[in-house]
């Protein structure tokens, strides 16, 4: 399997040195995230020798990787499906003489983390979707006062209490700022346990390099699954922190704050933050590609969805479809330029998510008019099968070739020049129409949006995806 991995573009600015060891899994090709000028983590004296490969649960592997990356303090509160991460830290951190606190709530945990981060400590906080929502205010404060901290979100189904099943429905929350105000935080999305271990060191490094919170976005499957991994770790070197609070004996006092009462002062601070975010966007984009060289259709997926997509790619190719995989690793900054380049040479993109469609919006923005974008997602903890994804790919391929016969829908009032694929989504239906390009390339897609049902034809609950009998459930949306 041909695999290419693309990492940030700033390694040329660093002195020569050793490369980063990367924990890998048997199921996933290693992400070659080598960074020069760094030394591997020193072994902890009381840590027993480990074999070349060990079987680890995702939550526990993430926790141990954070410890090996030099985590000084952990704050958390139990919630499924990330509880084992907290349990691992409860045992290991006291063993090493480091700080562990099970707080009284998620609000307590994140604010304890804020205080510890302001002293320059390497801080980890973890939770799952409902608990992450409670942390939004403190995350905005830390983005504003530039406190470095790593937050792990092992996503579960929602909204509300939802379920404990896997989900990717926290994408918007993670990449669009989480809390209030004009801010962003780097978001890293591992697709395997081994990659999650490697990205923990990267997360602490990014947090300290840019003085910002960083989110590691996993899901219930990644947290609960077990995989064989090579227990190799990296501990980023510590820098001198001229902003950290540690007592003002012999120096001028320092202030870490987010309050700027004068409008001009707050605007200047916002301009400083935005300049920092532009630097992150320029230097910290990460993505991986598989089977892209000859692909006519490309699946765009991250995390667990990318694992499903990888199998779907192989099955689709066995069925004669030239399909590739584009996998964002940094969800913010999103690899828009790289994806735009891919979109320019393929006929279509299929976005696969464990949600009702969130990353698909960033994919649309990146693709522009270079390629059409289709979406397939499952919610509530349901994980799509590779065969479901292959079926969606076959439909898209047939439509591109102009061979898909779409039945006449009975949806009440609808644009007379359009017809429906996949039925209605909520109160809007996405429709699909083969239309030749002006060039000699294969037939392409066009879309129209149906914005209202006739009063006597409102779909009943649960009927949103059953309105066109000849189309299977997987064709949820096809849109530009």
Q: What are the tens digits of pLDDT across the range 456-466?
A: 333 334 333 33
Q: What is the pLDDT of residue 399?
A: 83
pLDDT tens per residue across span 198-219: 999 999 999 999 999 999 999 9
Tell me if 352 is assigned to some domain. Answer: yes
User: Taken in order 134, 126, 84, 218, is the CA torsion positive or negative?
Assistant: positive
Please state the rounded mean pLDDT for residues 14-29: 35
Q: Do residue 103 and residue 199 come from a single domain?
A: yes
Tell me if 289 is assigned to some domain. Answer: no
Q: Do residue 334 and residue 452 come from a single domain?
A: yes
Residue 298 near residue 324, CB atoms below 8 Å: yes
Q: Do residue 272 and residue 336 come from a single domain?
A: no
Q: Do residue 184 and residue 319 come from a single domain?
A: no
* Structural domain boundaries enclosing 444: 307-479
Q: Which residue has the higher pLDDT, 19 or 383?
A: 383
Tell me if 293 is assigned to some domain. Answer: no
% of the chain with per-residue pLDDT over 70: 73
pLDDT class for 398, splitting at 50, 70, 90?
confident
pLDDT tens per residue across span 33-63: 333 344 445 455 555 565 689 999 999 999 9
Tokens coding 127: 């939770």
Cα–Cα distance, 338 to 352 (Å, whole number)? 18
pTM to 2 decimal places:
0.76
- Classify 368 in phi/psi space as left (phi over 0), alpha (psi -120 to 50) or beta: left
Q: Do residue 334 and residue 243 come from a single domain?
A: no
Q: What is the pLDDT of residue 52?
A: 85
Tokens coding 147: 């406190």
pLDDT tens per residue across span 53-95: 999 999 999 999 999 999 999 999 999 999 999 999 999 999 9
Q: Do residue 265 and residue 382 come from a single domain?
A: no
Tell me if 301 is assigned to some domain. Answer: no
Q: Do residue 218 and residue 359 come from a single domain?
A: no
Please provide the distance, in angstroms rounded to a whole number, between the alpha carbons at the two ends of the chain.
30
Q: Do residue 55 and residue 122 come from a single domain?
A: yes
The DSSP-derived string for 173-192 is HHHS-SSSSS----EE--SS
DSSP type of residue 11: G
pLDDT greater than 90 at residue 420: no
Cα of 237 vs its chain's centroid, Å: 26
Using alpha carbons only, how large is the chain's radius of gyration in Å?
24
pLDDT greater than 70 at residue 433: no
Cα–Cα distance, 169 to 218 (Å, whole number)? 11
Tell me if 320 is assigned to some domain. Answer: yes
Q: How many domains does the chain have?
A: 2
The DSSP-derived string for 376-394 is EE--TT----HHHHHHHHH
Least confident stretch, 302-306, 390-394, 448-452:
448-452
Tokens coding 200: 């923990």
Tally: H helices and E strands in the chain: 13, 19
Alpha helix stretches (DSSP H) within 301-349: 303-318, 336-343
Q: Do residue 80 and residue 33 come from a single domain?
A: yes
Tokens coding 5: 């991995």
Q: How high does pLDDT run on average in the chain?
A: 80
Q: Do residue 317 and residue 211 come from a single domain?
A: no
pLDDT tens per residue across span 246-299: 888 888 899 999 999 999 999 999 999 999 999 999 999 999 999 999 999 999
Please state the rounded mean pLDDT for residues 371-380: 94
Tell me if 71 is assigned to some domain. Answer: yes
Q: What is the pLDDT of residue 184?
A: 97
Beta bridge pairs of residue 40:
234
Q: Do residue 174 and residue 217 come from a single domain?
A: yes
Tell me if 170 is assigned to some domain. Answer: yes
Q: Do residue 218 and residue 367 come from a single domain?
A: no
The SS3 assignment for 371 reads coil
Q: What is the pLDDT of residue 424?
A: 29
Q: What is the pLDDT of residue 402?
A: 60
Tell me if 432 is assigned to some domain. Answer: yes
Max Cα-Cα span within the chain: 80
CATH number where 44 lies: 3.40.50.970
């Amino acid at each position: 399997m041909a695999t290419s991995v693309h990492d940030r573009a700033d390694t040329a600015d660093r002195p020569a040195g050793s490369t980063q060891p990367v924990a890998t899994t048997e199921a996933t090709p290693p992400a070659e995230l080598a960074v020069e000028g760094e030394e591997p983590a020193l072994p902890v004296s009381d840590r027993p020798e480990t074999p070349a490969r060990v079987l680890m649960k995702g939550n526990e592997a993430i926790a141990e990787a954070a410890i090996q990356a030099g985590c000084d303090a952990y704050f958390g509160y139990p919630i499924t499906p990330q509880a084992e991460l907290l349990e691992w830290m409860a045992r290991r951190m006291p063993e090493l003489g480091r700080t562990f606190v099970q707080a009284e709530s998620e609000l307590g945990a994140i604010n304890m983390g804020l205080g510890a981060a302001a002293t320059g400590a390497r801080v980890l906080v973890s939770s799952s979707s409902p608990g992450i929502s409670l942390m939004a205010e403190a995350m905005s404060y830390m983005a504003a006062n530039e406190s470095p901290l790593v937050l792990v979100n092992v996503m579960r189904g929602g909204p509300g209490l939802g379920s404990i099943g896997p989900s990717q429905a926290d994408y918007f929350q993670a990449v669009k700022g989480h809390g209030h105000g004009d801010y962003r935080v780097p978001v890293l999305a591992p697709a395997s346990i081994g990659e999650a271990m490697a990205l923990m060191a990267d997360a602490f490094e990014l947090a300290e390099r840019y003085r910002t919170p960083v989110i590691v976005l996993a899901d219930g499957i990644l947290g609960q699954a077990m995989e064989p991994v090579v227990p190799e770790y990296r501990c980023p070197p510590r820098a001198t922190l001229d902003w950290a609070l540690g007592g003002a004996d012999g120096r001028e006092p320092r202030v870490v704050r987010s309050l700027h009462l004068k409008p001009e002062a707050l605007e200047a601070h916002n301009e400083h933050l935005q300049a920092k975010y532009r630097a992150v966007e320029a230097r910290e984009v990460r993505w991986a590609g598989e089977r892209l060289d000859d692909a006519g259709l490309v699946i765009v997926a991250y995390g667990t969805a990318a694992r499903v997509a990888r199998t779907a790619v192989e099955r689709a190719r066995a069925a004669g479809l030239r399909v590739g995989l584009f996998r964002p690793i940094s969800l913010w900054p999103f690899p828009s330029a790289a994806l735009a380049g891919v979109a320019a040479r393929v006929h279509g993109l299929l976005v696969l998510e464990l949600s009702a469609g969130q990353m698909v919006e960033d994919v649309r923005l990146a693709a522009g008019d270079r390629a059409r974008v289709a979406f397939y997602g499952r919610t509530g903890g349901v994980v799509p099968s590779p065969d479901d994804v292959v079926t969606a790919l076959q439909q898209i391929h047939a439509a591109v070739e102009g061979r898909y016969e779409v039945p006449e829908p009975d949806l009440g009032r609808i644009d007379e020049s359009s017809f429906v694929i996949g039925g209605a989504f909520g109160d809007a239906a996405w429709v699909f129409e083969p239309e030749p390009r002006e060039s000699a390339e294969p037939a392409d897609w066009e879309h129209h949006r149906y914005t209202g049902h006739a009063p006597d034809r409102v779909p009943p609950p649960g009927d949103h995806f059953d309105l066109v009998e000849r189309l299977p459930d997987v064709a949820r949306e096809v849109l530009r």
